[in-house]
Amino acid sequence: MEAAVSGITPDIAADCAAAKAAAGTLAAASTEAKNEALKAIAGGLVANSSQILAANAEDLADERAAGLSDALVDRLTLTSDRIDAIAAGVREVARLDDPVGEELESRRLENGLDLRKVRVPLGVVAVVYEARPNVTIDCAVLTIKSGNAILLRGSSYAERTNRALADVVREGLAQAGLPEDAVVLSTGGGREAISDLATQEGIVDLLIPRGGEGLKNALKEVATVPVMYAASGNCHVYVHRDADLEMARAIAFNAKVSRPGVCNSAETLLVDRQVAAAFLPPALKELADAGVELVGDEQTRTDAGGTEVGVATTEDWDTEYLDLKLAVAVVDDLDAAIAHINRHGSGHSEAIVTGSEEAAERFTTEVDAAAVYVNASTRFTDGFEYGMGAEIGNSTQKLHARGPIGLRELTTFKYVARGDGQIRA
């Protein structure tokens, strides 16, 4: 690498070069070898649980974590149960079909060529992500199984934890006879290093940032490599006039409270005007009792039934709180709900609670989002829940992948043509 010429920092240059050198070997690796690595990683997570938890405790005690919200601290925290769950996810990925080599279509052309369209790895994937150490494992195992090398840049808040996890992954690769540098953890350099990473043309085949709008906008200004944004989740639950209100209360509560610091949690609750007076008092009280800060429009505050609701600002409708805060609005009808979601939503996950098939059909057809739900919580938008074993993130883009980024979303395809001497006239 010509670091001095390119302006790339030596660390980024070395990390990218190492991943690139390993990519070809991993792309040609057998399914058996890749699965052996994943099983070794799952076993290593459990066997090294105490060391991982010790590293995590140091990260949590570090002054860099002192200013994090409770929700972000929860995202950073590992427990024995969470490590066991991460290991279970690794084993699930090992059980999934290998996408590499999958035949997408085939046909014989008029000229006699047999043409096949088959899945192949992307090459080198880079992921930049926040203080969620489980993402280190999810990203690593998905790229290993899909035949890609990966460069990981996690948050400095989780640096020790990520290192302990990456060490387990690299040891698992070595045990399976695969190159350790198929998974490279890159640290240091701050935002400047991320900008350098985003300009690694010819080396990084896909960059996936998992972070807020600030990171997204910064990368848009400098990236020269393909970028797939695992972007923000400004998600909504809409309670339609034909909803079962007890079901709606349970769904709204789960979508906000079960884990508020993740991208599939609800940030806005929309309620049809015809049921607002009956629905809002018990629903808002339940949310407030769980510690949710509520802000709402004038009609919501009127129908709140004694529960304190602050004044929602224009910015609230566009905000991903990632915390125990919820914006609430009363809307006139289904048309108004769909218009509100399409104007303010981030295209992640949207839900309607209704007993009307017509309303459900219109909502799922007209709402522009990667995932839409009828009578279910937005919290289900997740690679593990969708049977993918894990995910690298949720794409709100439409090309080349949308929704949870799993094994198949980490591949591209090539055309393979076989002939018997054909030449083109």
CB 93, CB 117: distance < 8 Å: no
- Lowest-pLDDT choice from 147-156, 207-216, 360-369: 207-216
Question: Does 366 map to a domain?
Answer: yes
- What CATH number is given to the structural domain containing 152? 3.40.605.10
Section 152-177 average pLDDT: 95
**Interval 20-61: pLDDT, tens:** 999 999 999 999 999 999 999 999 999 999 999 999 999 999
**Interval 250-261: pLDDT, tens:** 999 999 999 998
Could you tell me the pLDDT band of residue 1, with boundaries at 50, 70 and 90?
A: very low
Does residue 398 or residue 342 have the better pLDDT? Answer: 342
Q: What single-letter amino acid sits at 12? A: I
How many whole angstroms separate alpha carbon 52 and alpha carbon 243? Answer: 46
SS3 call for 29: coil
Residues 40 and 174 in one domain: yes
How does the average pLDDT of the chain come out, rounded?
93
Tally of domains within the chain:
2
Task: State the burial class of residue 312 (Cβ atoms within 10 Å of its Cβ: 0-12, 13-18, 19+).
Answer: buried
Q: Can you spell out the DSSP letters for 168-179?
A: HHHHHHHHTT--
Residue 74 has pLDDT above 80, yes or no: yes
How many whole angstroms separate alpha carbon 331 and alpha carbon 70? Answer: 31
Question: Does 390 map to a domain?
Answer: no
Question: Which residues, listed in sequence order, are joined to residue 416 by a DSSP beta bridge?
Answer: 116
Q: Other C-beta atoms within 10 Å of 297: how many?
A: 17
- What CATH number is given to the structural domain containing 310? 3.40.309.10
Residues 59 and 142 in one domain: yes
Structural domain boundaries, residue 336? 235-380
Residues 113 and 208 in one domain: yes
- Lowest-pLDDT choice from 66-70, 90-94, 280-284, 385-389: 66-70
Residues 282 and 161 in one domain: no
**Interval 186-214: pLDDT, tens:** 987 777 888 899 999 999 999 999 877 77
Q: Beta strand pairing status for 114-121 and 411-418?
A: antiparallel
Question: Does 314 map to a domain?
Answer: yes
Which residues, 6 or more positions from 125, have their beta carbon under 8 angstroms from its beta carbon? 139, 143, 148, 149, 150, 151, 204, 205, 206, 207, 208, 392, 410
Section 63-69 average pLDDT: 83
CB 393, CB 208: distance < 8 Å: yes
Question: Does 150 map to a domain?
Answer: yes
Residues 217 and 324 in one domain: no
Question: Does 165 map to a domain?
Answer: yes
Task: State the burial class of residue 200 (Cβ atoms within 10 Å of its Cβ: 0-12, 13-18, 19+).
Answer: buried
Residues 76 and 177 in one domain: yes
Question: Does 212 map to a domain?
Answer: yes
Handedness of CA 22, 25, 27, 30 (dihedral sign): negative
Q: Other C-beta atoms within 10 Å of 422: how many?
A: 12
Q: Can you spell out the DSSP letters for 174-243?
A: HHTT--GGGEEE---SHHHHHHHHTT-TTT-SEEEEBS-HHHHHHHHHH--S-B--B----EEEEE-TTS
Question: Does 135 map to a domain?
Answer: yes
Q: Other C-beta atoms within 10 Å of 136: how many?
A: 26
Residues 82 and 220 in one domain: yes
Terminal Cα distance for the chain, rounded: 43
- 393: left (phi > 0), else alpha (psi -120 to 50), else beta? left
Residues 41 and 173 in one domain: yes
pTM of the model: 0.86
Residues 53 and 143 in one domain: yes
Section 314-323 average pLDDT: 95
Could you tell me the pLDDT band of residue 232, with boundaries at 50, 70 and 90?
A: confident
Range ranked top by mean pLDDT from 14-18, 172-176, 198-202, 231-235:
172-176
Residues 11 and 102 in one domain: yes
Question: Does 385 map to a domain?
Answer: no
Section 368-375 average pLDDT: 97
Q: Which residue has the tokens 């930049």?
A: 128
Residues 122 and 55 in one domain: yes
Could you tell me the pLDDT band of residue 10, with boundaries at 50, 70 and 90?
A: low
Residues 221 and 243 in one domain: no
Which of 386, 331, 337, 326 minimizes the C-alpha distance to 366? 337
Q: Beta strand pairing status for 103-108 and 114-121?
A: antiparallel
Compute the 3-state secondary structure of the chain and give helix, strand, coil in percent, each to the nearest 5. Answer: 45, 20, 35
